Structure 1
Amino acid sequence: MLSADLPWLQAPLADALARARSHALLVQGPAGVGQLELAVRLAQSWLCESAAAGQPACNHCPSCKLFASGTHPDFQMLLPEALEAPARESLGLPFEEPDAKAGKAKPSREIKVEAVRNLLAFAQATSARGKAKVVVIFPAEALNGVAANALLKTLEEPSGLLRFALASHDSASLLPTIRSRCQPLPLALPERSAALAWLEAKGVKDAAGLLDATGGRPQQALEWAEAGLTDAAWQAIPKRVARGEVAALSDLAPPRVIDALQRLCHDLVRRSHGQPGQFFAPAALPSPKRAAPLLAWDAELRRAARHADHPLNAGLWIEALVAQAQAAVTASVR
């Protein structure tokens, strides 16, 4: 039961099922709190053959069993190639690795128009079990411009019993025409106590520190812990970066390096204005006196983020980022 694994989704799920008035819902909120899980649970509930209208899926009827096995004929999930395997694994759904492509092309992080065209063929077919046909799209902002436009007409005028559950952690970047065709379903950060209890049940040590490091996002905190990041290592980053220690970040993937430095920059800017940091403990942070060097560094980080998925030489790229960070922090504390 997806909502049981993420207990803070039970109330939003019940609310969504009770007040859904549109054939398309847009689950939106910060990353790492369960947008995909909620969208999938909505889809299962819409397809359930035993639950009363407006009630969550029963998990026992033939439809729910087909859903859990990943073979329900009236359900499709649209994901970027790069997220297909980890997303299905996190949901406990089966996944077949695709054949190696010629030239070993890197899996795309976009949802392309070819995938939407295949989806439209599914959408136009008759429901196999007669209950509904449901499509989950995640993350919705991964739809590139051509793919989003190809989806518009079906999203506005779905055929038969077709329903959509879009999930996004950056809904502002969606086309306005996509947003206007969906009923919004906000998903907030879970209560801290619920998030900590869930992380501790997953065996995460120093869960409170990692939860703070991720801005209250429990799924992201779990992902960091499973990747080997400890709270102690996280809290050491500011001072190690200030000393120019590349090893402070060298074990992190390039996108996570940028993410860590942006969080550090954010906290230092807050400190320079007399406010507490958000992602690091107070004792871990220097005490900057000037915000200007930090704001310039923030602009550099935003430019570097454009290449975080494919730096030409990751090692040299991280060295350059640490050098920039050291210079900015040094200038800010003078």
Structure 2
Amino acid sequence: MPPRPDTLVGPDGALPLPWLAPALGAATGQRGHALLIVAAPGDGALALLRTLAQGWLCEGPVVDGRPCGQCAACRLVQAGAHPDLKQLLPGAQALAHGLASEEEVTNGGKRKPSKWILIDDVRDTLAWVATTRSRERGKVIVLHPAEALQGPSANALLKALEEPPAGVRWLLSCSDPERLLPTVRSRCQRLVMPSPDTPTAEAWLKGQGVAEPAALLAACAGRPLDALALQVDGVDARAWAALPAALARGQVAAWAGWPLTRTLDALQKLCHDLLAQAAGAPPRYFPASALPAARGGVAPLLAWAAELNRVVRQAEHPWNESLLVEALVGRGRDALATLKS
């Protein structure tokens, strides 16, 4: 995962993402001790959580939830040094967002960065909660994403959510509340973060240097941060549109250097659009003009889709990635050849 844009309000007072304003305003009236933000992945949930936390800790004027960006508390948050702010993320995400060092998330190289929020980190956070706050605005814990809490970690968190000390507030995010323990959901007020409209997302992506934002937004189901991540990884609109033809020719080199998770995502999206086209429906992720014509039954594509799903479920397996991708691309090529015959 490449670095994301800044996720705080700076001295100029500008929001890190222009579409956060409605959710910030809606959160202003939430007075509970725990707020659960429900947002689609790639829409900027972490930026919203961190901006809300900054606003709650801000010692200057806060308007519609927007922190001033200039007071001493805001400067401490911007520097990552506010003593009353705790940010709890899986090691891999904390590293990607620049919120922890590699030394911290790997325990000096003794482990891989985790995709989960570890129970030891939850316990450390609970011990921190019990300490005296340093400044006047209370203490805030940002937990992102809540789906990264496994059973023991979630259970360890419950007591703090049930009986929070005075002056402590929790900010959690998730994309699917049903994946959380019911007891965690029931102890949080819930706020749905609206996705940005297409013109706003495209304008923001252009400002980030994305030349053809519409194509990359479509490739990422309208999620602007994911579209930017695709560009940062070196995949522009032309390279994305070239993938169907590369699949038809079995050209594995089109995916050379891609992380396995991104390759699997692209192949699944390509399979989805080929199935949609074969059924007479419009494609979702790729331009219709880039997709090879498909005729006949869809059984080969369905078999390929099942194989892709199986591999995704076992993504943590120590695959020989180059051989795996070669096999999956070859299977997709063969499915297309059968459809076109």
TM-score normalised to structure 2 length: 0.90
**CA distance 1:12–1:333, shift in 2 (3 Å):** farther
1 CA distance for matches of 2:313 and 2:115? Answer: 13
Percent identical across equivalent pairs? 44
| Correspondence for 1:116 | 122
Instruction: Select 2:269's aligned residue among 263, 280, 284.
Output: 263
Pair 1:229-2:235 in alignment: yes
What's the CA shift for 1:8?
A: 0.7
CA contact under 8 A between 1:255 and 1:309: conserved in structure 2? no
Pair 1:12-2:18 in alignment: no
Instruction: String of CA shifts for 1:103-136, please: whole Å, max 9, x gaps.
Output: 6421111111000000000111222113211100
2 CA distance for matches of 1:177 and 1:215? Answer: 31
Instruction: String of CA shifts for 1:49-106, please: whole Å, max 9, x gaps.
Output: 2235863211122211111111111110001111112223xxxx6x444166566421
Pair 1:78-2:88 in alignment: yes
Secondary structure, in 3 states, of the residue corresponding to 2:41? coil
Secondary structure, in 3 states, of the residue corresponding to 2:15? helix
CA RMSD between the two structures: 2.0
Residues 178-187 or 68-77, more deviating: 178-187
Letter of the structure 2 residue corresponding to residue 308 of structure 1: A
| Correspondence for 2:53 | 43
Q: How does 1:147-158 map to 2 (within 5 A)?
A: 147-158=153-164
What's the CA shift for 1:239?
A: 1.9
Secondary structure, in 3 states, of the residue corresponding to 1:98? helix
**CA distance 1:34–1:103, shift in 2 (3 Å):** closer
What's the CA shift for 1:169?
A: 2.7
Pair 1:98-2:100 in alignment: no
What's the CA shift for 1:291?
A: 3.4
| Correspondence for 1:58 | 68
Letter of the structure 1 residue corresponding to residue 249 of structure 2: R
What's the CA shift for 1:34?
A: 0.4
**CA distance 1:26–1:331, shift in 2 (3 Å):** farther
TM-score normalised to structure 1 length: 0.92
| Correspondence for 2:184 | 178
1 CA distance for matches of 2:43 and 2:23? Answer: 12
Instruction: Select 1:301's aligned residue among 287, 304, 308.
Output: 308
CA contact under 8 A between 2:294 and 2:340: conserved in structure 1? yes
Letter of the structure 2 residue corresponding to residue 244 of structure 1: G
Letter of the structure 2 residue corresponding to residue 194 of structure 1: T
Residues 224-233 or 321-330, more deviating: 321-330
2 CA distance for matches of 1:331 and 1:185? Answer: 48
1 CA distance for matches of 2:224 and 2:178? Answer: 23
2 CA distance for matches of 1:96 and 1:106? Answer: 13
2 CA distance for matches of 1:98 and 1:6? Answer: 30
Letter of the structure 2 residue corresponding to residue 156 of structure 1: E
| Correspondence for 1:248 | 254
| Correspondence for 1:31 | 41
1 CA distance for matches of 2:181 and 2:28? Answer: 25
Corresponding residue pairs, total: 328
